[in-house]
Amino acid sequence: MSEPDKYLPDAIETKWRERWATDRTNEPDLDHAVRPLYNLMMFPYPSAEGLHVGNLFAFTGADVYGRFKRMQGYQVFEPIGFDAFGIHSENYAIKVGAHPADLIPKNIANFTRQLTRMGGMFAWRNVLSTTEPSYYKWTQWVFLQLYKQGLAYKKNGAVNWCPSCKTVLSNEQVIGGECERCGTVVEQRVLEQWYFRITDYAERLLANLDDPTTMDWSETTVAAQKNWLGRSEGADITFRASDAASSPITVYTTRPDTLFGATFLVLAPEHPLVTALTTNAQRMDVEAYRAQAAAKDLVSRKVGDQQKSGVFTGSTAMNPATGAQVPIWIADYVLMDYGTGAIMAVPGHDERDFEFATRFALPIVRVVAAVDQDAGTPLTAAYTDVDAGGHMVNSREFDGRTPLDTKAAITEWLASRGTGKKTVQYRLHDWCISRQRYWGPPIPIIYCDVCGPVPVPEEQLPVELPALDDFRPDDSGVSPLARHAEWYFVPCPTCGQQGRRETDVSDTFLDSAWYFLRYPSSELTDRPFDRDRTRTWLPVASYIGGNEHAVLHLLYSRFITMVLHDAGMLDFEEPFRKFRAHGLIVKDGAKMSKSRGNVVVPDQYIDKWGADTFRTYLMFLGPFQEGGDFRDSGISGPRRFLDKVWDLVTLASHPDCRDAEIRREVLIKWHQTKRRVAEEIEQLRYNTAIAALMELVNVLREQNCAERRLVSELVQMTAPFAPHFAEECWERLGHSSTIFDSAWPAFDAALTLEDTITIAVQVNGKTRGSVTVPRDASEATVRAAAEAEPAVAKYLGGELKKVIGVPGRMLSFVVGG
RNA sequence: GCUCGGGUGGCGAAAUGGCAGACGCAGGGGACUUAAAAUCCCCAGGGGGCAACCCCGUCCCGGUUCGAGUCCGGGCCCGAGCACCA
């Protein structure tokens, strides 16, 4: 007698990996899809360390969904690629003394091996890397489209400079005043940089977030984007300077209602009017203060818990409401890059202005009083409530009205006199895209002394990144590419005279802001994306990724898509119809980090348990959208589950196994499970879907049931989680084509209902017993059964006041006495 | 400070306002084994009782309800994001 076949993950996984590759199982026909479904996950940066467990968790979750949808009859396109340009790759290369052009291919090879091994349903034919000239040619093309529309421009201004990475950073890449990549405190520098006019799109970027027909996104991500866009409504108000020669000063405020309480103005130190407003007596102080503010790094400038500082300019301006002359100050708590760079200070009703006024002994006037206060109630702190039922005071004809009311009224009154208007402000800034680094796509612009900046003609793309041995950045604020003379000097495309190339490269986030458009057309060399393919596959049906990109990648991608839509190149303006943010994996209750030494490297677990067990464990350890705690001890559970399924398959595929009558309770559990698992996978509730499968397996084992039809469907339901395993079982059950072309098991709704139900019985809110009755029993029957139950009856002594029944669930008696 | 999440056994976690703790891990007991591993069976929130049973229990305080882990108000703690944004 031969040993029964044991479940050997290694052999099975190798077998199916090879077969999928040979049969091109995972690659849909991109030109002829009847029910296309674009299943996207955020492409990884191919680090030297390899895929970590967080990547694998995210990719597996996305892959489970893709495989499930495929079994529901969709042609699923599940591409993968590598986001290999950028500071991260370059910094690492510098650290280990290598060249990124040598390192990246090795890292990509390693990632490819790992991604294949995890069993992702990847369409490898369409793999892409942002570092390939065939890809970044089109990244440069995207830049040119923005340039053509006037949405790419060069501007001299204060920028975030990372002294360690020696490059500028976008606002989105500065986290709490530190460089997103290396954690170094960012400095302020004044440099000429390329920007994209994303602020022109702020309103649409915000409005679409609330449009459920184009965007079904995780609420946390929507909230983060709204927060970042930072819309606020207020008014621009103009103050005339006392010196008639000076230009008027326009301030932005969200509290025009408090205009009567504006006792001074504050300008940002960089404000262009400062020089003109400064009197000779104050000039030295003002210049000293401006120099000091310019030297401050952004952290100490922006962190607000320190003492306020500032200097008087010597000038005054007229408050348009009171007619009073108010002093004009400069202070670095007012930021040049928000609003108009100038504020009207209302110390009575703004905490920062209160602090400033107190420090410099400036007048504080109350203009809003709370319900139990009047105009004379002293202010010991700024009173900032707007909708707490307060009323205006010291505001002439507006006295007695509510602040909200007054806001609109004063704005109108100012508008009628031409000294103010209603405005909307966004916190979003234009996207600074130039980087003084080597490892990225060169910005395709040529400077000519005759013609000025000239875009590189599209037919001359790509502007290839030259091989450069010394690619290290320096402090000059100029990219290393400037050191390569042969590359740097180039004829002007317009006049043919010698010109110079733009030496900055573009931000990595531009590479990833359009990659989803490229995937379906990745083999086409003559266009970035094919019109028909794009119509078929986009917008993306399901996108899964980390919330750390809520305001970076996801916002930029939306912006670029809108721009291309407006240029008539895309039919849609939102790229991702559905987005779900996955949770984070922690290890033994603590965040994974290199310094803590608790980073989980997946390879060793896959070696030990197999990819299928590892995938199933990752999906079981917690709710996918919340993440969970990775504990080595937990992996054996999912493995035991697969072993049990394997045993059932072995029994069911035995030639002596005959279709048998299935016991009714098993039948019901079977159909209930089919309903539950499909519902839960659709909602990415993988942990409970797996739990439902485990329950079914436990019932089958208790009931000694290895009926072939039923076991086949059980295997189908495990397939998204354990794809190689399921293929092997499926073959052993006698099927010849891939399980992923089989139809997801349907359930019979009538068979999901139990014949008898157990109803809880409560007396005065406490559960005192339960009765088991036929499913369709009337309330009277249930009540009679309940009253006959001794455990219930003994509490029913008093006067019966009420009986509440919830059909199929419970019956509640309310008795008095 | 503001905006999101979250707080349930020893642990990871389940629970359309309706019997809290499904499923799994670790644990205890037993079977098989010369033995161990693997596997199988049983127990398992806390407390009390010989037992049938009883009491307590989802961060805290209050409310709504016949009934609250779930809804409402207030607070505490943890995590994430934003932060002198006028």
Distances (CA, A) of A601 to A53, A117, A181, A625, A736: 6, 14, 22, 21, 35
Q: A58: closest CA among A615, A633, A723? A: A615
Confidence (pLDDT) at A507: 92
Q: Which residue is nearest to nucleotide B19 (CA to C1')?
A: A760
Q: How far is the CA of A631 from the C1' of B9 (A)?
A: 18
For residue A35, give the DSSP letter: S
For chain A, the first-to-last Cα distance in angstroms comes to 74
| A329 and A352 Cβ atoms separated by less than 8 Å | no
Its sign, for the CA torsion A597, A603, A607, A611, is positive
Q: How far is the CA of A349 from the C1' of B76 (A)?
A: 30
Identify nearest nucleotide to residue A695 by CA to C1′ distance: B23
Confidence (pLDDT) at A1: 33
Burial grade of A814 (CB within 10 A; 0-12, 13-18, 19 or more):
middle
| A367 and A385 Cβ atoms separated by less than 8 Å | no
Q: How far is the CA of A352 from the C1' of B74 (A)?
A: 28
Nucleotides of B under 7 A from a protein CB: 3-6, 11-16, 18-20, 22-26, 39-41, 53-55, 66-68, 79-86
Identify nearest nucleotide to residue A767 by CA to C1′ distance: B19
Quick check: A365 pLDDT over 60?
yes
Q: What is the pLDDT of residues A77-96, one digit of tens each?
A: 999 999 999 888 888 888 88
Q: Which residue is nearest to nucleotide B52 (CA to C1')?
A: A791
Residues contacting residue A283 through CB under 8 Å, at least 6 positions apart: none
Confidence (pLDDT) at A299: 52
Quick check: A295 pLDDT over 80?
no
Q: How far is the CA of A790 from the C1' of B17 (A)?
A: 27
| A426 and A229 Cβ atoms separated by less than 8 Å | yes
Q: How far is the CA of A637 from the C1' of B38 (A)?
A: 14
Give the pLDDT band (50/70/90) at residue A2: very low
| A529 and A196 Cβ atoms separated by less than 8 Å | no
Q: Using DSSP, state whether A810 is helix, strand or coil.
A: strand
Identify nearest nucleotide to residue A338 by CA to C1′ distance: B85
Mean pLDDT for the stretch of residues A678-697: 95
Q: How far is the CA of A224 from the C1' of B5 (A)?
A: 12
Confidence (pLDDT) at A481: 86
Mean pLDDT for the stretch of residues A413-426: 92
Distance CA A40, CA A78 (A): 6
Identify nearest nucleotide to residue A306 by CA to C1′ distance: B84
Q: A614: closest CA among A598, A596, A632? A: A632
| A627-630 vs A584-587, strand pairing mode | parallel
Q: What is the pLDDT of residues A315-356, one digit of tens each?
A: 999 999 999 999 999 998 998 888 999 999 999 999 889 999
Q: Which residue is nearest to nucleotide B4 (CA to C1')?
A: A220
Distance CA A649, CA A682 (A): 26
Q: Which residue is nearest to nucleotide B68 (CA to C1')?
A: A765
Q: How far is the CA of A620 from the C1' of B12 (A)?
A: 9
> Dihedral through CA A256, CA A260, CA A264, CA A268, nearest 10?
0
Identify nearest nucleotide to residue A764 by CA to C1′ distance: B66
Identify nearest nucleotide to residue A643 by CA to C1′ distance: B39
The label of the residue with tokens 């309103």 reads: A203
Distance CA A504, CA A476 (A): 12
Q: Where are the beta strands (DSSP E) in A386-537?
A: 391-392, 420-425, 431-432, 434-435, 445-448, 452-455, 489-491, 498-501, 505-506
Identify nearest nucleotide to residue A224 by CA to C1′ distance: B81
| Top-confidence residue, A69 or A227 | A69
Quick check: A3 pLDDT over 50?
no
Q: In the predicted model, what is the mean pLDDT of chain A?
A: 89
Q: What is the pLDDT of residues A168-187, one digit of tens each?
A: 887 777 877 778 777 777 87
Identify nearest nucleotide to residue A761 by CA to C1′ distance: B19
Residues contacting residue A617 through CB under 8 Å, at least 6 positions apart: A609, A634, A635, A637, A638, A639
Percent of chain A predicted with pLDDT > 70: 97
Q: How far is the CA of A806 from the C1' of B49 (A)?
A: 35
| A550 and A224 Cβ atoms separated by less than 8 Å | yes
Identify nearest nucleotide to residue A801 by CA to C1′ distance: B66
The label of the residue with tokens 């969709």 reads: A74
Identify nearest nucleotide to residue A353 by CA to C1′ distance: B86
Quick check: A563 pLDDT over 50?
yes
Quick check: A756 pLDDT over 50?
yes
Quick check: A613 pLDDT over 90?
yes
Q: How far is the CA of A317 from the C1' of B86 (A)?
A: 18
Identify nearest nucleotide to residue A219 by CA to C1′ distance: B4
Q: Which residue is nearest to nucleotide B26 (CA to C1')?
A: A633
Q: A262: closest CA among A367, A399, A358? A: A367
| A601 and A50 Cβ atoms separated by less than 8 Å | yes
Distances (CA, A) of A391 to A141, A222, A278, A347, A379: 57, 35, 37, 17, 15
Identify nearest nucleotide to residue A174 by CA to C1′ distance: B82
Confidence (pLDDT) at A298: 56
Distance CA A544, CA A547 (A): 9
Residue A87 token pair? 């500071």
Confidence (pLDDT) at A680: 95
Q: How far is the CA of A677 from the C1' of B40 (A)?
A: 28
Q: How far is the CA of A60 from the C1' of B36 (A)?
A: 37
Q: A182: closest CA among A193, A169, A200, A198? A: A169
Distance CA A247, CA A272 (A): 10
Percent of chain A predicted with pLDDT > 90: 59
Q: A606: closest CA among A66, A13, A6? A: A13
Q: How far is the CA of A630 from the C1' of B10 (A)?
A: 17
Q: How far is the CA of A4 from the C1' of B33 (A)?
A: 20
Quick check: A417 pLDDT over 70?
yes
Which range among A87-96, A419-428, A522-531, A696-705 has the greatest average pLDDT?
A522-531
Confidence (pLDDT) at A301: 55
> Is the overall model pTM greater than 0.90, yes or no?
yes
| A341 and A265 Cβ atoms separated by less than 8 Å | no
Q: How far is the CA of A733 from the C1' of B32 (A)?
A: 31
Distance CA A109, CA A680 (A): 35
Q: How far is the CA of A813 from the C1' of B52 (A)?
A: 24
Distance CA A795, CA A52 (A): 59
Mean pLDDT for the stretch of residues A701-709: 86
Q: How far is the CA of A573 from the C1' of B4 (A)?
A: 26
∠ CA A411-A417-A419, nearest 5°, is 65
Q: Which residue is nearest to nucleotide B13 (CA to C1')?
A: A622
Identify nearest nucleotide to residue A814 by CA to C1′ distance: B66
Q: Where are the beta strands (DSSP E) in A510-576?
A: 542-545
Q: Where are the beta strands (DSSP E) in A64-201?
A: 75-77, 81-82, 128-129, 152-162, 167-169, 174-175, 178-179, 187-196
Peptide bond between residue A46 and the one before it cis (omega within 30 degrees of 0): no
Give the pLDDT band (50/70/90) at residue A302: low
Distance CA A347, CA A263 (A): 8
Mean pLDDT for the stretch of residues A208-217: 88
